[in-house]
Structure 1
């Protein structure tokens, strides 16, 4: 009888542990992150278009004084490309003051690591970086040949090229697949240049700012009909929202809300379910919104930068400027950098602290803004004018 009672006690103890004392559903569940995806593809400080790139701390640009510059061979042909920066602060850039053009890789100090002659683009284009930084992807062409989506390795060797009719900057997902508009159609292409799928119902226009990606590789894309679609990684449309006009910039906060800048100077917030939450006026229609680490949505407005929380309440405003800022960038401390056409016509680069206080300003000898600037992890900012004859770094 004593033995039976002892066995009963042991069995009861185990049963209690399995039903009421198991901490797996309470204590050890990881907290749900509400931080935005960093780097935000297409809008991160390094312009990689890839949230899975090798992580590198983006150090502040402390002083706003001239560092290195590089002057290109003379000419005034076309606009040049966006910059793209790897974790070691090497810079990829297409220069095209001459019709022949050249694709460069620069060191953090402005030395030319390599150059591919005769690769060019008629309008400023985007360059995307693979997660391991062994490849870059861009749409470009050589004289008397059509546009192609190029895959080029980090040593400057061409891996493959696919002829295309659309100039679109690819996004890159978890497994290295490229998501882009190819021949006008939303497409998924493997890192080896093989098509996974095309969605012919979503057609796009040329540009770099009409697409974003979340942590599950869902795409948020605005097509030529101005409809914002959520598309899963297989190409299936999950929901749509009629944006109603041209969109410049799509970003996602840490709660799954989507933000777009529309061409009528409106910032629109759409929920993760595709429902409009709020609209704010006064956002610059040609620049994209950016999101801070605590989910403040920052947009450049008339002679200042303003920030909203996810409910649409105004929670942040920079000191006033004498000119209107464009193309915002954030370092890892949420300090804000901008580019502007100054009152004298020369390009102005400036910075605000994360609290919105004026920090520094640099007035260049170049004029005419178009491509956005970029931040290097070593604490430098690099910029160029429209139809760049020179690029300039500040530190």
Structure 2
């Protein structure tokens, strides 16, 4: 990403210019601010026929800007009158791109930069929004980082309008190709704070925050099949589900609870010390072990059959781990995130040990996914990071504002992640930007990749939640890796059913 800045001096008028005597030391000084702006563009290597994203920003000390106008320097002198814009250069060459910013006093500043456009690539990556859907129900806040759509085998998409107390709802949508259709809404009357998960029988499980319960919802009509209470304090943990339909979910103060497919409690794992289990638990490859983390840094391996402890690894940290989504590698390595970074835990059978820990600022509300090359990907406050799975070293970093999104990797190794300023970003395995889609004005959550490569993702515009369908010319499905997206698969179960 390239950034070009201009700094203009403030215009200062002293008493001399206002008709006051030069001897009048108390003469007023009037400072008039002018527009101070910069602009950046991505990707930094621009090619003909490739969409380029331009972002305008005002600088500290700038007057209030009321107008932004871009000129892209092509023969048609194409212009766009928005703060952020996209443009596709028609041919290779050198283009002078300018951004003119004006304030309410009609003072203006123009910044320019010459951009060298290279020849087009032979087979460029393309992505576009096919449709967007919203019920237009007003919610006071965005879905948090645990939220991602779940996709059933028949293609039905289940997503949330969450974080809205009694207005929270889970919505079922069918994809008709170029248009969506709402099938039903499930409105429990309480806050929902976690992504839905789909069991082997096709029905949906969702935790209900204020009701302290997990609900099984009929996939056909959205009616409640059963409600399993957890005592007090269910968390925003997405349920893990095994091949028999057994459900495992974390709570704020009742430990980890397992229910069978009929709603009967199988067991409760609860330790006296520590705080809640906000991170979504995950199941081992054979389904025999459940991994969970407390917000105080205790990582547990639990026997999935009876809820007894297999081992506890005490990871001492002071960083927030309330939003983490645990993930697992094929060798049994467990990953979790905190405000400060990512930690890898090795399951040694009867004990657990730290394999490595690496700094990734603000990784707490994201989670680890695995690419085709084995590299790990995680979002953070500074952007998207690629991590070496053996050493924990950061391989590359793509600058963005990622606060509430777990990435997803497609069949070609491309990585998708949502940003807090309304974008879906797609980069390749080298960290090079392939596409940036401007979806909305606020948080964009975790993408889910369907079997045919279609991407579904939720976004917030300050008042409503919208579900987007995005298609590309490259992806044929999720990556053939052990953990390509949040919850491991399109059903959000953390286990291959």
Same fold (TM over 0.5): yes
Question: What corresponds to 2:226 in structure 1?
Answer: 160
For the residues of structure 2 that align with 1:269 and 1:102, how far apart are their CA atoms?
Answer: 35
> How far 1:169 sits from its partner (Å)?
2.1
Compared CA separation, residues 300 and 74, structure 1 to 2 (3 A) = closer
Post-superposition CA distance 1:256-284 (Å, at most 9, x none): 12222122x22112211211122211252
Q: 341, 354, 361: which is aligned to 2:436?
A: 361
Q: 150, 161, 164: which is aligned to 1:95?
A: 161
Question: What corresponds to 2:346 in structure 1?
Answer: 271
Q: 378, 381, 384: which is aligned to 1:299?
A: 378
Q: Is the 8 A contact 1:204 1:222 kept in 2?
A: no
Q: 128, 132, 137: which is aligned to 2:197?
A: 128
Name the SS of the counterpart of 1:367 in structure 2.
coil
Name the SS of the counterpart of 1:256 in structure 2.
coil
Please give the root-mean-square deviation of Cα atoms over the aligned residues, in Å.
2.9
Richer in helix (by share): 1
> How far 1:322 sits from its partner (Å)?
5.4
Unaligned residue ranges in structure 1 (runs of 5+) = 1-60
Post-superposition CA distance 1:71-123 (Å, at most 9, x none): 32342345455421123432112325694444321112453352135335435
> How far 1:190 sits from its partner (Å)?
0.4
Question: What corresponds to 1:226 in structure 2?
Answer: 297
Unaligned residue ranges in structure 2 (runs of 5+) = 1-123, 472-497
Post-superposition CA distance 1:100-158 (Å, at most 9, x none): 444321112453352135335435322111124x21111238xxx93431111220232
Post-superposition CA distance 1:24-50 (Å, at most 9, x none): xxxxxxxxxxxxxxxxxxxxxxxxxxx
Q: Is the 8 A contact 1:329 1:375 kept in 2?
A: yes
For the residues of structure 2 that align with 1:93 and 1:120, how far apart are their CA atoms?
Answer: 16
Compared CA separation, residues 92 and 184, structure 1 to 2 (3 A) = same
For the residues of structure 1 that align with 2:238 and 2:463, how far apart are their CA atoms?
Answer: 19
Q: Is the 8 A contact 1:85 1:376 kept in 2?
A: yes
Question: What corresponds to 1:151 in structure 2?
Answer: 216
> How far 1:340 sits from its partner (Å)?
0.8
For the residues of structure 1 that align with 2:267 and 2:291, how far apart are their CA atoms?
Answer: 16
> How far 1:304 sits from its partner (Å)?
4.1
Post-superposition CA distance 1:294-351 (Å, at most 9, x none): 432222352442221323344x426x44545742111233210011123xxxx01011
The TM-score normalised by the length of structure 1 is: 0.72
> How far 1:358 sits from its partner (Å)?
1.6
The TM-score normalised by the length of structure 2 is: 0.58
Compared CA separation, residues 121 and 307, structure 1 to 2 (3 A) = farther
Q: Counterparts in 2 of 1:254-265, with a 5 A limit?
A: 254-263=330-339, 265=340
2:283 is the alignment partner of 1:176: no
2:259 is the alignment partner of 1:189: yes
Question: What corresponds to 1:334 in structure 2?
Answer: 413
Q: Counterparts in 2 of 1:242-261, with a 5 A limit?
A: 242-245=314-317, 246-247=320-321, 248-261=324-337
Question: What corresponds to 1:311 in structure 2?
Answer: 391
RCO higher in structure (CA 8 A, sep ≥6): 1
Q: Is the 8 A contact 2:228 2:259 kept in 1?
A: no
Moved more, 321-330 or 212-221: 321-330
Corresponding residue pairs, total = 322
Q: 204, 208, 219: which is aligned to 1:140?
A: 208
Q: Counterparts in 2 of 1:343-382, with a 5 A limit?
A: 347-369=422-444, 371-378=445-452, 379-382=454-457
Moved more, 216-225 or 195-204: 195-204
For the residues of structure 2 that align with 1:158 and 1:230, how far apart are their CA atoms?
Answer: 31
Question: What corresponds to 1:67 in structure 2?
Answer: 130
